[in-house]
Structure 1
Amino acid sequence: MRLPPVRGPITELLFDRLAARPGTPLPGVPVAGGLDDDDLQLALFACYELHYQGFDDVDDAWEWEPALLGFRRVLEGELERALAAAVPRPDPAAAGEVRRALGRLTCADDGPGVSLYLQREADLETFREFVVHRSIYHLKEADPHTWAIPRLSGGPKAALVEIQADEYGGGRRERMHSELFRATMRGLGLDDSYGAYLARVPAATLAISNVMSLFGLHRRLRGALLGHLAAIEMTSSVPNRRYATGLRRLGGDPETARFFEEHVQADAVHEQIAANDMCGGFAAGHPELAGDILYGAACALALERRWADQVLACWERGAGSLRGQPVPASAGRAP
């Protein structure tokens, strides 16, 4: 993956510096934005990506360059302020009530209509767009939440490892969820290489991944990271069943639909582990962070709703939800 085209003054400045030798000074952030600011979200995504697979045209030594970390800190401050403005903190809950509070949060969330739209109405090109959006996270699925493992101990750590082991295929490459998603992309005639569509997705898509990385890379936010993961697991099975049904309706074969079908069963199990053993256990040991768990869950749900509202508005008026022209089919086998 190479650095994508810039989207404004922040990425223009940042990418210019990243193309130079590590240690090149970075001036102050020229402009700041919020959750829907393409320039801010892409800049922050690029900063975080240096902790994952990186960019072919960026020296790996930039990862811990103090000047870049200072630059990123300003961007993260904007992201945290935007989150605080967009996502009210849930009512406090005692440590022993965190499991029930998570259940109330996720049950009260009727979820975005994307899954129903894809199940019943979407055409093949719309489904391919959906998969492009999801590729930004699913090609590194589980990685942001894995940052929490060394920051936990005892039962919560064991619970998270149990979840993540499934996400990584139990040590078998072909069963890793990221690899299953690659098969879905290939089956839909999409480029399955890591980051292939980074330039095409809007700020709302990038913000979903950025919040995971924000929570994952800061120990002070480990409670929010666990709540975030729990919310994903607790609201995953039904939408994934609908995605699988919609893809089969459009002619998707078993290999192409397997990613979604795998999540129907796996996440039903993960839901219980995440809510009870991981979050409940962590709250019992760290009652002062119980509110962070609920806030992380609320952030996951709110960002998903924001993204869904935006893409559905595009689809319902017959417009594409990605930046630029429609995504062409690759050599993959589109249904």
Structure 2
Amino acid sequence: MITTPVAPRSPTPRGPLSDAVSATLTSSPDTTATRLEPVPIRQADPWGEDLQLALYVCYELHYRGFAGVDPGWEWNPELLRLRGEMEQYFLDAVREQAGEVSPLDELLARLLTEPRTGDGPSHYLLAGGERWQAREYLMHRSLYHLKEADPQLWAAPRLGGAAQTAFLSIEYDEYGAGHPERAHSRLFAEMMADFGLDSTYGRYVDAAAAPALEVVNLMSLFGLHRALRGALIGQFATVEITSSPGSARLVRAFERLGAGPAGLRFYREHVEADAVHEQLVRHGVIGPLLATEPALAGDVAFGIAASSLAEGRLSAHLTGEWAAGRSSLRGGPLAEPGLG
């Protein structure tokens, strides 16, 4: 059943950081009274369930918020201070893992080269994945795709001229090009319904593993900071350039797994649209952006490297668990009708 997006319920905490954030949001955001207790941020695993969920909850306040949570928490200084400390810890870890990033031209060339063999989820599902694995894949991806393009849209006022125009033309397509029924978030919801999943916004946050949270958190982190606008464009470019071949594999995989027309439309749209977007993002967005702000080349490259690492972690988690015969969801398969 496809439902109208509303504020989701708050997810269940996964450790001291997410517990502190969740507990705080049950109180009033009165800035004169709010004082958050110190939490051991730098003792947490930067890629772990606790820190990633705590960041996700903080970021979600800028999207649709949570049912029963006062909207005033979005800009509460104490919560922003805590979020800033978690962000810096996470960003430091990402930069350390990325190491010395290759030149932008080299990274773009790699993105444009489709490997002859691959081991990611689209390859796995096409080669012999089962329907329950496809469902799990959609559950993880729903954290982003049910709000597809929203994190990137924050870059729009931070660009200018030709780069802004080209960027917004791509975003216009993401939101359905004037046709609400063609918005990518809507198509993804319809695909979930075709697979017997609940398409309610935020429904599967509790089931999603840390790598799925990280992929979305990285977009939000880049999008919410003007200083990281170049990194957001790098993330944006990574998705647009690499999406088309993977989408084509998923169409074939889902056809084999019995998907109906609604279960194929989302990825069929991405096969065609992202083939065009790939050219536009390179020549219409990145080219003009660097012509006016050449110093951002390193940030764009970092965004590509960081998002590739995050996607790699999610890919390894999904295929690793599936290959071992296990569910990739937290707590194992969901015990509800249609999800077995």
Query: How far off its partner does 1:28 sit?
Result: 2.3
CA–CA distance in structure 1, aligned partners of residues 47 and 81 of structure 2: 22
Q: Report whether the alignment pairs 1:30 with 2:40.
A: yes
- Aligned match of 2:273: 266
CA–CA distance in structure 1, aligned partners of residues 210 and 112 of structure 2: 27
TM-score by length of 1: 0.94
Q: Which moved more, 1:101-110 or 1:256-265?
A: 101-110
CA–CA distance in structure 1, aligned partners of residues 97 and 111 of structure 2: 17
Query: How far off its partner does 1:86 sit?
Result: 1.7
The correspondence for 1:164, drawn from 155, 168, 171, is: 171
Q: Matched residue of 2:177: which SS?
A: helix
- Aligned match of 1:101: 106
- What amino acid does structure 2 have at the position aligned with 1:130? Y
TM-score by length of 2: 0.92
CA–CA distance in structure 2, aligned partners of residues 284 and 47 of structure 1: 35
- For residues 232-281 of structure 1, the C-alpha deviation after alignment (integer angstroms, 9 at most, x for no partner) is 11100010011111100011011111001100000000001111110111
Q: How does 1:14-53 map to 2 (within 5 A)?
A: 14-23=21-30, 24-32=34-42, 33-53=44-64
- What amino acid does structure 2 have at the position aligned with 1:284? A
Q: Conserved in 1, the CA contact under 8 Å of 2:122 and 2:249?
A: yes
Query: How far off its partner does 1:113 sit?
Result: 2.1
The correspondence for 1:91, drawn from 102, 106, 113, is: 102
Q: Report whether the alignment pairs 1:229 with 2:236.
A: yes
Where does the alignment leave 5 or more consecutive residues of structure 1 unmatched?
93-97
CA–CA distance in structure 2, aligned partners of residues 34 and 299 of structure 1: 17
- Aligned match of 2:302: 295
Q: Conserved in 1, the CA contact under 8 Å of 2:326 and 2:332?
A: no
Question: How many residues get paired?
Answer: 327
- Aligned match of 2:328: 321
Q: Report whether the alignment pairs 1:81 with 2:92.
A: yes
Query: How far off its partner does 1:325 sit?
Result: 3.2
Q: Report whether the alignment pairs 1:63 with 2:74.
A: yes
CA–CA distance in structure 2, aligned partners of residues 155 and 34 of structure 1: 41
Where does the alignment leave 5 or more consecutive residues of structure 2 unmatched?
1-7
Q: Matched residue of 1:171: which SS?
A: coil
Distance 1:224 1:112, change over 3 A: farther
Query: How far off its partner does 1:160 sit?
Result: 0.7
Q: How much is the aligned-residue C-alpha RMSD, in angstroms?
A: 1.6
Q: How does 1:234-253 map to 2 (within 5 A)?
A: 234-253=241-260
CA–CA distance in structure 2, aligned partners of residues 245 and 108 of structure 1: 21
- What amino acid does structure 2 have at the position aligned with 1:163? I
Distance 1:74 1:285, change over 3 A: same
- For residues 107-158 of structure 1, the C-alpha deviation after alignment (integer angstroms, 9 at most, x for no partner) is 4674652111111211110100000010000000000000000111100000
- Aligned match of 1:189: 196
- What amino acid does structure 1 have at the position aligned with 2:175? Y
Distance 1:13 1:49, change over 3 A: same
- Aligned match of 1:54: 65
Q: Conserved in 2, the CA contact under 8 Å of 1:25 and 1:67?
A: yes
Runs of 4+ in 1 over 6 A off after TM superposition: none
